[in-house]
Structure 1
Amino acid sequence: MTHFDLTGRRALVTGSSSGIGLELARGLSQHGAAVILNGRDEGKLAAATAQLGSEGLSVDSAHFDVTDKAAVQVGVAALLEGGPIDILINNAGIQRRVPLLEVSLETWDEVLRTNLTSALLVSQALAPQMIECGGGKIICTLSLMSELGRRTTGPYTAAKGGLKMLVKAMCAEWAEHNIQINGIGPGYFATEMTAPLVQDEQFSSWVRGRTPAGRWGDPAELVGAAVFLSSRASNFVNGQVIYVDGGMSAVL
């Protein structure tokens, strides 16, 4: 079990004020990591930090916009004054459902900046310190839509597909420095972002029927993959994606 122990590791989880990011932050903290929550909404970030604190977990927070290069550089520099960051989870993301023939350039840019460009900016800011310290872990939250398309999800699909390839590109350049860069690909999980879909019985029934496990995922079920990829147990795993989807991507 010591291979999965994160005691003494410091982790930054972007987009962790709610949903999957908050659950991943909780899980890493429960496994011993000193976790820093991040988000753009200062109120939600404070509430999430207080929530985990009330559960007896030791967490901190960093309020900066991961889509803003200058804000990332300032925010990361401030965090590094408190010590190295050993684990980065690039989790920030948004969804804007609109047909491709109707999507505006502003919406397209917003989705790509939040889901894809932010991962590059934060990884760029932290990688030099990881190289100097002799290694680190970078994990990106991908999606089934890193592999598959669906109507009205064009910008999101393009961003998550790009993020999958960014994982591989970072592996190609940084693996020699003992940095492991991998992705987690959730299937359909019940979160704040997917709440309208969960409540849509027709769509929810489709998800249950299409998923071999016969149900939606619980965000807590992503923690195992995150802990594995954050720990010594994955030291020779690089440039890979673990799909946690109840089997959806395995069957026709």
Structure 2
Amino acid sequence: MESYLPSFDLKGKVAAITGATKGIGRAISIAYAEAGAELILVSRTESDLESLKEELEARGTKVFTVAGDVQKYEEIIGKIEEQYKDKTIDVWVNNAGMNIRSEAEKVTEEEWNQIVQTNMKSAFFFSQYAAKKMKSSGYGKIINMSSVGGHVALRTGVVYAMTKAALIQMTKTLALEWGKHGIRVNAIGPWYFPTALTEKLLQDEDYVNDILAQTPLKRIGELKELAGTAVFLATEASDYMTGQTLFVDGGMTIYGF
């Protein structure tokens, strides 16, 4: 009998993840390892990379690590290419991101450059590199980590919001351009999850109550719930999806703020 249950398996696939050692990136890295992928992990902190690598290799996962700031994406790409020159990369997750919560009139040029280069510029040039690798095999998945802040107006900081909105539009445009090569480009738009960026905010009871008032499910998300979406977008289960942003937000965006 014909089966209609698609594979959520990543065995034999190579997946690269930026911002791989903390919060969302760590959850995705572990989930991809559990799904059978070979991993390329990128993070600024070498000690965190080594710790995660040791943990994943103990499970039988093959792991290659690159320590570096994604603002220096050329250096990171160079190190990856040395290792994977004659190999394809099947999945690329642009997860690395940052925020500086300045009021609009107080944003400095240095803050602007840091946020734009980390959240948006690196994501584009990593995607460009990944697409070149994927074209050779006629198949690939690029996943951009956007935010509900790229879709609705929030108190997130204007430059952060701009970069996350740009990722949504970049996702659509790259999907249109690269679809003919079998490359799917999709994005994820999280609401609040426990990460280094949200840790202090989630310790403020009034702030949390404000968040929950805007969330139909009335709770903060769990990282495994976001990692599941990333696995779906990386596997053949999502092969007929491209150019889409999946909001993993407890229903927050249904309000249409």
TM > 0.5 fold call: yes
Match of residue 227, structure 1, among 215, 225, 231:
231
Q: Deviations over 1:93-127 (max 9, x none)?
A: 01111101001011011001101111111111121
Q: Deviations over 1:150-178 (max 9, x none)?
A: 23511110110011111111112111100
Match of residue 197, structure 2, among 176, 193, 200:
193
Match of residue 60, structure 1, among 64, 67, 83:
64
Q: CA deviation at 1:70?
A: 2.6
Query: Could you tell which deviates more after superposition, 85-94 or 69-78?
Result: 69-78
Match of residue 85, structure 1, among 89, 94, 97:
89
Contact 1:94/1:114 (<8 A) preserved: yes
Query: Could you tell which deviates more after superposition, 59-68 or 111-120?
Result: 59-68
1:244 and 2:239 correspond: no
SS of 2:141's equivalent in the other structure is: strand
Q: CA deviation at 1:72?
A: 3.3
Cα–Cα, structure 1 residues 69 and 55, in superposed 2: closer, same or farther, change >3 Å? closer
1:172 and 2:211 correspond: no
1:110 and 2:114 correspond: yes
Cα–Cα, structure 1 residues 141 and 209, in superposed 2: closer, same or farther, change >3 Å? same
Q: Which amino acid aligns with 2:113?
A: D
Q: CA RMSD in A?
A: 1.6
SS of 1:221's equivalent in the other structure is: helix
Query: Could you tell which deviates more after superposition, 34-43 or 181-190?
Result: 34-43
* Distance (Å, rounded) in 2 between the aligned partners of 1:71 and 1:65: 9
Q: CA deviation at 1:83?
A: 2.5
Q: CA deviation at 1:82?
A: 6.7
SS of 1:214's equivalent in the other structure is: coil
Aligned length: 252
Match of residue 27, structure 2, among 23, 27, 30:
23
1:120 and 2:124 correspond: yes
Q: What percentage of aligned pairs have identical amino acids?
A: 35
Q: What is the aligned partner in structure 2 of residue 44 from structure 1? A: 48
Contact 2:33/2:56 (<8 A) preserved: no
TM-score w.r.t. length of structure 2: 0.93
Q: What is the aligned partner in structure 2 of residue 137 from structure 1? A: 141
Match of residue 214, structure 2, among 210, 220, 223:
210
Q: CA deviation at 1:59?
A: 3.0
Q: Which amino acid aligns with 1:172?
A: L
Q: What is the aligned partner in structure 1 of residue 102 from structure 2? A: 98
Unaligned runs of at least 5 residues, structure 2:
none
SS of 1:160's equivalent in the other structure is: helix
Match of residue 11, structure 1, among 11, 15, 31:
15
* Distance (Å, rounded) in 1 between the aligned partners of 2:151 and 2:175: 19
Q: CA deviation at 1:88?
A: 0.2
Cα–Cα, structure 1 residues 245 and 100, in superposed 2: closer, same or farther, change >3 Å? same
Query: Could you tell which deviates more after superposition, 147-156 or 128-137?
Result: 147-156
Q: Which amino acid aligns with 1:156?
A: Y
* Distance (Å, rounded) in 1 between the aligned partners of 2:88 and 2:207: 44
* Distance (Å, rounded) in 2 between the aligned partners of 1:69 and 1:217: 30
TM-score w.r.t. length of structure 1: 0.94
Q: Deviations over 1:187-244 (max 9, x none)?
A: 1111121000110111011112221111111111112211111011111101001100
Cα–Cα, structure 1 residues 152 and 146, in superposed 2: closer, same or farther, change >3 Å? closer
